[in-house]
Amino acid sequence: MKKNSIIVLALMVMAGCSSQNAVVPEPAPVSEPPVASLPPVPPAPSGYGFDQWQTGPLGDVFFDFDSATLSADAQEQLRQNGVWMGNNASKTLVEGHCDDRGTSEYNMALGDRRAASAKEYLVRFGVSPSRIETVSFGEERPFAQGQNEEAWAKNRRAHFVVK
Amino acid sequence: MIKLFRGVFFAIVASLVLFPSHLVATEGQEYIAIRKEGAGNIALVLDKLDAKGRKETGFAQDLDGIINGGLDFTKVFSIIQPPLNVKDDSDRKNIVINFPALTSVGAEVYVGGVVTMKSDDILLDMKVYEAAGSKLLMNKTYRGSAAALRSMGHAFCADLVELLTGKKSIFGSKIVFVSNKTGFKEIYECDFDGYGVEQLTKSKSICMNPALSPDGKHLAYIDFTSGRPTLYIKSLAGESVAAVGKSAVSIDPGWRSNSEVAATLSFDGSQAIYLVNTDGTIARRVTNSKSIDISPTFSPDGSKMAFVSSRNGLPQLFVQDLVSGDVKRLTFSGRYNTQPSWSPAGDKIAYTTWEKGGEINIFTINADGSGLMQLTQKCGENKSPSWSPDGEMIIFTSNRQGKEKLYVMSSKGGNERLLLQGDGEQTQPSWFLFR
């Protein structure tokens, strides 16, 4: 068995404490489930769902704090994704992600719900459920680094990976 | 490696040969009885161990450090320097203890011992006296090799704590936790005091939320090796691993008994808690809310389960009776309450609250919802509380000095101490008794 490099402190250190700032969580609004609509529009290569972490044909969708509810922008992006999926036979993995505030276990569940919300919309739109897999990474794989709303907003997303 | 993980401490202690072992139990009981409940720390004179010979003296000094460090870690004792005239060994045969000198410095208990050698083994002969009544409370000999010094010293500490408090001690208990020091989140274990860190998984992926079964035979954890968070149940003796075959995600296991572990599985569309057998098969579904239900933790008899649910909006703690199915909301203070841990005595549940202003703090609440107590404050994010097997301490993580590290504190609050200093961040500790 290898010795680990973690060193035990012979004398336990009393730790100094200081408060830190963060944003106060707000409860998420509840909205009606999405309903598929037409007509389809061509997928946009840039805009809402596209950034340095999403350059593929399918755009990502973003969420409010502690919410898996799809905003109007998110629904529009999913509709465009659905059109692309209707024209292409590829399978898709939808990854649910969270910002790193709150606690890890709850964020794992929240990421699961975000991925499931995105999938549910696409299935209602007409994509076969067998073509969409979902997974949650919770707060484990953040896209943007930083402790500010800009970074957090980037990390609260359902990320599309074409397989 | 996993086989070795099965408690080096107890393997060694089991191999110790116990010589004339006179645990004076009735005296110990009497001692416990005359101490008032909550009387504070036990005032203890811990005398230097006697030894003749160079080797013996070296081992005696090491054992002095081990025993002193072990007893200090418990925060059960006030350790007093021995008075200079504590022993009279003028007649060379019988050492006479000066009890009036002990009581004059306020000592309640005197501990002394002798280190000798027999072939290559070390013999540690320990005596414990009540200072006021000059009564011998315990006389026990511990035997082991030079490699077993730490186990021998801690075996005595365990006996002393049990004798004087009437409770099982933390000596011999283990902590499992997550560290990202290799660049990947992997599961590790160490002794109760942070010694002997060993890596248990080498997934080069993400491993999370380790939890050991009460008998120490199975490790349940979440592993991303397959590409999705999957509940693994590893038999530590046979090295076999059972994975829960259902797709979707698995979250945060908690043991109900040696044969059943609960975890959240989302294959049915919502994040519901299920009971899972150690072979990975599902025993039954426990929650039915269509919202997020996570982080099961059980009363000691397994009849009740505390868990986190978003059924009312933001996450709160609930308690479900597994027999009747009745569910009661436990927490009404705080907007975001997660990470429950049921105490080994069954009376309290520790958990965390994400507070206005961004702090995450640890609280305890009685299992009936009364007696809310805040244990940490103004220290950044304090997460993942887990009780020591004797219920006296809580291990948790804190980012109070930057990176997330493991800390311990009294389960009533106070005595907060860093447990491990090392590379990376250490998270999600779980403390268990290795018996």
Domain ranges of chain A: 61-162
- Residue B200 sits at the chain A interface (C-beta within 8 Å): no
CATH for B174-431, among 2.40.10.170, 2.120.10.30, 1.10.760.10, 3.40.50.300? 2.120.10.30
pLDDT (tens digit per residue) in B101-135: 999 999 999 999 999 999 999 999 999 999 988 89
Given a contact cutoff of 8 angstroms between Cβ atoms, the answer to whether A85 and A102 are in contact is: no
Block residue for tokens 């002969």: B125
Residues 6 or more apart whose CB falls under 8 angstroms from that of B186 comprise: B178, B179, B180, B199, B200, B201, B202, B203, B207
Domain ranges of chain B: 42-165, 174-431
On chain A, the residues whose CB falls within 8 A of the CB of B359 are 19-20, 22
Looking at residues A87-115, what average pLDDT do you find?
97
Cis peptide before A39 (omega within 30 of 0): yes
Interface of B with A in 330-349 (CB under 8 A): 335-336, 338-339
Cα separation, B207 vs B199, in Å, equals 12
Selection from A72, A73, A70 nearest residue A114 by Cα: A70
pLDDT (tens digit per residue) in B18-70: 443 444 444 455 555 455 555 578 999 999 999 999 999 999 999 999 999 99
Q: Is the dihedral of CA B62, B67, B72, B74 positive or negative?
A: positive
Phi, psi of A112 (to 5 degrees): -65, -40
Looking at residues A14-33, what average pLDDT do you find?
48
- Residue B267 sits at the chain A interface (C-beta within 8 Å): no
Residue of higher predicted confidence among B62 and B3: B62
On chain A, the residues whose CB falls within 8 A of the CB of B428 are 104
Given a contact cutoff of 8 angstroms between Cβ atoms, the answer to whether B157 and B124 are in contact is: no
Selection from A101, A88, A100, A95 nearest residue A131 by Cα: A88
Q: Which candidate from A18, A27, A108 shows the least CB-CB separation from B314?
A: A27
On chain A, the residues whose CB falls within 8 A of the CB of B269 are 116
On chain A, the residues whose CB falls within 8 A of the CB of B380 are 17-20
Is the pLDDT confidence value at B146 over 60? yes
- Residue B357 sits at the chain A interface (C-beta within 8 Å): yes
pLDDT (tens digit per residue) in B388-399: 988 999 999 999
Min distance A41 CA to chain B CA atoms (Å): 30
Least-confidence region, from A30-39, A120-129, B66-75: A30-39
Given a contact cutoff of 8 angstroms between Cβ atoms, the answer to whether B314 and A102 are in contact is: no
pTM of the predicted protein model: 0.85
Is the pLDDT confidence value at A22 over 80? no
Phi, psi of B148 (to 5 degrees): -100, 15
On chain A, the residues whose CB falls within 8 A of the CB of B223 are none
Q: Provide the 3-class DSSP secondary structure of residue A117.
A: helix
Block residue for tokens 């450090």: B65
What superfamily does domain A61-162 belong to in CATH?
OmpA-like domain (3.30.1330.60)
Min distance B29 CA to chain A CA atoms (Å): 32
Residues 6 or more apart whose CB falls under 8 angstroms from that of A72 comprise: none
Q: Which candidate from A1, A108, A113 shows the least CB-CB separation from B198?
A: A1
On chain A, the residues whose CB falls within 8 A of the CB of B307 are none
Residues 6 or more apart whose CB falls under 8 angstroms from that of A51 comprise: A60, A154
Is the pLDDT confidence value at B160 over 70? yes
Least-confidence region, from A110-114, B153-157, B163-167: B163-167
CATH 3.40.50.10070 fits B42-165, yes or no: yes
Given a contact cutoff of 8 angstroms between Cβ atoms, the answer to whether B141 and B20 are in contact is: yes
Tokens at residue A115, please? 């991925």
Interface touch B199/A113, C-beta < 8 Å: no
pLDDT (tens digit per residue) in A52-61: 999 999 999 9
- The three state secondary structure string of B21-66 is EEECHHHHHHHHHHCCCCCCCEEEEECCCEECCHHHHHHHHHHHHH
Tokens at residue B310, please? 């978003």
Interface of B with A in 82-121 (CB under 8 A): none
